[in-house]
A and B are shown apart, each in its own frame.
Chain A
Amino acid sequence: KAGVTQTPRYLIKTRGQQVTLSCSPISGHRSVSWYQQTPGQGLQFLFEYFSETQRNKGNFPGRFSGRQFSNSRSEMNVSTLELGDSALYLCASTVIAGPNSYEQYFGPGTRLTVT
């Protein structure tokens, strides 16, 4: 089974621009979560989508948005980029593995640099 794929792997943008990142979960997984990882803050939850619906949202400004398509692929968009948005953006594909248990698989991430 193919793992979680994220595109692009690396991206350089300038302040004020907008960016779209893509994530394809493991086949059959319907839950996709997005995280931002920075050296100072560690991993922070952005949002989660399940069956095309946003189910949870973290504490990020409205410049961060996402969506999920019927094939479970997900995109996240960041508008009006700021220098502080430079980070590794990770996507995770999740499936319930049993009572009180789940399996979460992370993609390799997209390294976004804002200059």
Chain B
Amino acid sequence: KNQVEQSPQSLIILEGKNCTLQCNYTVSPFSNLRWYKQDTGRGPVSLTIMTFSENTKSNGRYTATLDADTKQSSLHITASQLSDSASYICVVSPGAGGTSYGKLTFGQGTILTVHP
């Protein structure tokens, strides 16, 4: 069964600090991996997307890494801000576009809280 496991489940950090969220997946074959940010009561918003051939992708203070051999990804947040408080969800696609959108496998998410 395709699975995506995220850790930690929740994390509390102080404003200005860095943090790293982890995502391990068993989805195979694998096409791409995406990190979403979901604010409370809102829909998820895409932060980064990486194909199996990419190792890293940045979006401002967010940097995602991917190791397709070990099936692990991480999301590193630099100089955290209060607005980074949200749920971060790792999503893995098993196939290339076309009819595969519905086969996305979602992680449970990591709830990040940034305190002043």
**Smallest CB–CB gap between A55 and chain B, Å?**
5
Interface on chain B toward A: helix, strand, loop, or mixed SS?
Answer: mixed
User: With A100-B51, A107-B43 given, is the CB distance from A48 to B101 under 8 Å?
Assistant: yes
- In the assembled complex, B97 has its CB within 8 A of some CB on chain A: yes
B32 interfacial by beta-carbon distance below 8 Å: yes
User: What is the total of A-B residue contacts with beta carbons within 8 Å?
Assistant: 66
Bound Cα distance from A105 to B45, whole angstroms: 7
The answer to whether B97 touches A108, judged by C-beta atoms less than 8 angstroms apart, is: no
- Give CA–CA (A99, B108) in the complex, Å: 28
Indicate whether A25 reaches chain B with its CB closer than 8 angstroms. Answer: no
Residues in chain A near residue B96, CB distance under 8 A: 99-100
Q: How far is the CA of A38 from the CA of B108 in the complex (A)?
A: 10
Neighbouring B residues of A43 by C-beta, 8 Å? 44, 89, 106
* A106 & B45 in contact (Cβ 8 Å cutoff): yes
Within 8 A of B (CB), among A64-112: 90, 92, 94, 96, 99-109, 111
**0/1 string, B98-116, CB within 8 A of A gives 1:** 1101111011110000000
Size bin of chain A's contact surface = 20 to 34
Q: How far is the CA of A105 from the CA of B43 in the complex (A)?
A: 9
Q: In the assembled complex, how far is the CB of residue A111 from the closest CB belonging to chain B, in whole angstroms?
A: 8
* CB-defined contacts of A96 to chain B, threshold 8 Å: 97-98
Contact of A45 among B32, B42, B102 (CB under 8 A): B102
Judge whether A42 and B106 touch: CB under 8 Å.
Answer: yes
State the Cβ distance, B62 to closest chain A Cβ, in Å: 17
Contact bitstring A40-66, B, C-beta under 8 A = 1, else 0: 001111011010000111100000000
Q: CA A102 – CA B103 in complex, angstroms?
A: 13
Given pairs A35-B106, A42-B89, A99-B96, 4 additional interface contacts (CB within 8 A): A43-B106, A45-B102, A105-B46, A108-B43
